[in-house]
Every structure is written in structure tokens, then in C-alpha cells.
């Protein structure tokens, strides 16, 4: 059987929320179980340094995200699960690629351009607050992908350009130094659900409208109670399609339950009651994972061991590829 190497990274900033579960974690774990896929899932902690200079936050987010994925069923025996910073070949490859990647290509990166425009709009120097890390972000991402010769890279729309840049960088390197890299392809799943947040916009840490995944039961309840609704009273029919409460319900319910709630909306279920039912449904699903999450967070040694094992299993591969790259560019032993 031809296996497809499918690789994706998660930038370790912030605390995982329900939107991450529905939009990224669930589909990635499901995909990793396919027999024809060799899955690579890593914590992009070097990328986190671009966004945060708070050491405690960097360390904590990495741990929370690792524990979250494991608690939700990622099987480290089945998936290559590792920390980017535990694979030093990635950083070394990143430098070699930096020396070969066109600066003009990086100038076109959306994330960098957005930062420059924000500065210009604010009347600042265009480079204000922009680090070399932000500018070179796509090169490091290319190294992540190319070090394991990934075929497919599942990403959100905002990351397609970066995967295309990785492909460009690989192509140029292959042209200059010989056929070393597989050309990766971005894969965007249009069926991935985008969960609405408390205010009805996309649930996102940058909007501050999230419901954390593994807070306490009480915090989950509080979060759900904060979801914005309209002023319709109990007994008045409500439009399910215009409701964050209903949308969240659907993300956790099966077909019959969805139909049941749709009818309840049309029959005028009160917002308080709908939220109580939503809380119970979400909590039923999260409670066992929350328990596992707690155990993992409280046992950092176990977490550490899992990630170390993940890196150890991969380093022979990254080392082999890097040795070829070194040789190709002329970093060779004298004898
Ligand atoms: N930049 C990605 C994001 O913010 C995370 C990431 C880092 C990544 N390296 C990657 C994704 C390599 C896919 C492949 O979402």
C-alpha cells in the first residue's frame, strides 16, 4: 500500500477551546486513524516564540496543548507526535533553506504584509515590532514540512500560502542542489466546521470569545451561559439557523438529537433551558476527556516521556535527510 505522509503543526499559543476541538482536533484525530496515512502531528513551539515573549505562557501553552490532544484520543503509537524544538534538524534545515529562499517571496507573505500595513495605518515605521522570526516564519514552516518529506499538509485557509511557499522553496532547492525534497501540497477541508464564539463571530482566541475545552464543569457552564442570544421569550418560536446555541449543539449531537433540538427551537424552548441542555450534552462528551486531561497535566513526566519517545522515533529520519542536505550544499567532512 502507498502511504501518504500527512503532516501538520499546531502553534502552541493560548489555551485550547471548543472551536479548536471541532475545527482542528477532531478531524485531525479521525484522519490519523486512516490506514493509508502516516500521520505527523507536532507542537510548533518554535513558531510560538514568534508570537509570544512570555516564557511562562510559552511553556504552559505547549503543555496544555499536548495534554489536550492526548486526552482527546490522539494515539502516540499511531501518530508521530512530537515537539518541533525536540528535532534540532528542523532548525538547521531552516537555516540552509533561509540561504536559498528568495527574500522577495517572503515579502509577499500575508502575515508579514498585514503587520507592515498595520504599522503604516498607525503612522509607525513599517518595520515597527516586526522580528526576523515573523519575517522568516514561512521558511521555518517549510523546514517542518520538508524535513519529513510530507506529501500533504492539512491547514486552514490562512495557511495555504505558507504551504505553497514551502513548495516553492523545495522546488528551488531541488533545482539548485538535486532532487531531495518531496513537493508538498496543502489540503483544505471545506467541510470543517467553524464554530461560532460567544458573540456569534468565529470562535477564536484573537476575538476573546472562546469557551475553554478543559476548564472546570462550572466554567463550561458559565461559558455556555454567556453565549449571546436574542430577546425572544420562552414559548416564542426561535430560528435554529440563526443561533450559536443551536450551532454548538449540532457540533456535539447526533442526527436524532439535532432534529429534536430543531423542533424544540420551533416550539419555543426558552434560552435558559436550551443552554442547560447544551451544557449537559457538551459536558457528557467532555467529562471523560477532562479526567484524562487532568491526569496528564498533573503528570508532566508522563507527558514529557511521550514527546521524547515521539522525537526519538523520528530523529533517525530527520538526521538522514539533513545529512543529504548538508552534502548537497557542500557541508562535507574533509575525509
Ligand atoms: N503556521 C501554522 C499555524 O499557525 C502552524 C504550523 C507550523 C504548521 N508549522 C507547520 C502547519 C507545518 C502545517 C505544517 O496554523
Distance 262 CA to ligand 1 centre (A): 37
pLDDT at 186: 96
Q: Whose CA is nearest to atom 10 of ligand 1?
A: 9
CA distance 177 to 166: 16
Q: Is 197 close to ligand 1, i.e. is its CB under 6 Å away? A: no
Given pLDDT bands bounded at 50, 70 and 90, which one contains residue 2?
confident
Give the residue-averaged pLDDT of 140-152. 98
Ligand 1 centroid to Cα of residue 244, in Å, is: 28
Site to probe by mutation for ligand 1, drawn from 141, 158, 163 as the one with most ligand atoms within 8 Å of Cβ, is 141
Does ligand 1 lie within 6 Å of residue 240's CB atom? no
pLDDT of the residue at 189? 80
Whether 48 lines ligand 1, by a CB cut-off of 6 Å, is no
The pLDDT assigned to 194 comes to: 85
User: Cell match 470562535: residue?
Assistant: 203
Domains in the chain, start-ordered, CATH in brackets? 4-194+300-329 (3.40.50.620), 214-295 (1.10.240.10)
Q: Mean pLDDT in the chain?
A: 95
Q: Is the CB of 310 under 6 A from ligand 1?
A: no
Instruction: Identify the CA nearest to 165 among candidates 229, 94, 222, 238.
Output: 94
Tens digits of residue pLDDT in 166-208: 999 999 999 999 999 999 999 988 777 789 999 999 999 889 9
Let me know how long the chain is.
Answer: 335
Distance 153 CA to ligand 1 centre (A): 9
Inter-residue contact 83 to 311 (CB < 8 Å) = yes
Among residues 135, 216, 145, the alpha carbon closest in space to that of 185 is found at 145
The answer to whether the CB of 144 is under 6 A from ligand 1 is yes
The sign one gets for the Cα dihedral 306, 309, 315, 316 is: negative
Ligand 1 atom with least separation from CA of 137: 1
pTM value is 0.93
Give the pLDDT of residue 157: 86
Whether the per-residue pLDDT at 1 is higher than 80: the answer is no
Amino acid at each position: 500500500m502507498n502511504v501518504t505522509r500527512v503532516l501538520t503543526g499546531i502553534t502552541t499559543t493560548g489555551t485550547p477551546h471548543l472551536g479548536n476541538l471541532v475545527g482542528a482536533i477532531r478531524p485531525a484525530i479521525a484522519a490519523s486513524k486512516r490506514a493509508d496515512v502516516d500521520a505527523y502531528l507536532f507542537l510548533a513551539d518554535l513558531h510560538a516564540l514568534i508570537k509570544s515573549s512570555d516564557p511562562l505562557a510559552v511553556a504552559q501553552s505547549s503543555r496544555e496543548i499536548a495534554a489536550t490532544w492526548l486526552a482527546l484520543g490522539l494515539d502516540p503509537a499511531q501518530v508521530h507526535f512530537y515537539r518541533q524544538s525536540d528535532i534540532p534538524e528542523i532548525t538547521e534545515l531552516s537555516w540552509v533553506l533561509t540561504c536559498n529562499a528568495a527574500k522577495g517571496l517572503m515579502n509577499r507573505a500575508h502575515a508579514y504584509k498585514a503587520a507592515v500595513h498595520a504599522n503604516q495605518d498607525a503612522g509607525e515605521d513599517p518595520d515597527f515590532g516586526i522580528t526576523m522570526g515573523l519575517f522568516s516564519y514561512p521558511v521555518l514552516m517549510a523546514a517542518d514540512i520538508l524535513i519529513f518529506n510530507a506529501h500533504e499538509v492539512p491547514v486552514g485557509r490562512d495557511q495555504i500560502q505558507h504551504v505553497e511557499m514551502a513548495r516553492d522553496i523545495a522546488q528551488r532547492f531541488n533545482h539548485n542542489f538535486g532532487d531531495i525534497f518531496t513537493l508538498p501540497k496543502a489540503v483544505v477541508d471545506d467541510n470543517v466546521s467553524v464554530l461560532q464564539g460567544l458573540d456569534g463571530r468565529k470562535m477564536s482566541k484573537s476575538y476573546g470569545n472562546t469557551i475553554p475545552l478543559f476548564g472546570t464543569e462550572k466554567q463550561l457552564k458559565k461559558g455556555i451561559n454567556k453565549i449571546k442570544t436574542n430577546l425572544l421569550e420562552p414559548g416564542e418560536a426561535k430560528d435554529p439557523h440563526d443561533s450559536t446555541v443551536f450551532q454548538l449543539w449540532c457540533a456535539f449531537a447526533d442526527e436524532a438529537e439535532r432534529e429534536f433540538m430543531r423542533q424544540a427551537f420551533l416550539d419555543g424552548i426558552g434560552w435558559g433551558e436550551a443552554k442547560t441542555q447544551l451544557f449537559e450534552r457538551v459536558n457528557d462528551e467532555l467529562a471523560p476527556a477532562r479526567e484524562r486531561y487532568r491526569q496528564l497535566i498533573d503528570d508532566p513526566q508522563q507527558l514529557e516521556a511521550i514527546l521524547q519517545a515521539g522525537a526519538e522515533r523520528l530523529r533517525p529520519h530527520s538526521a538522514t535527510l539533513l545529512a543529504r542536505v548538508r552534502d548537497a550544499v557542500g557541508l562535507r567532512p574533509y575525509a
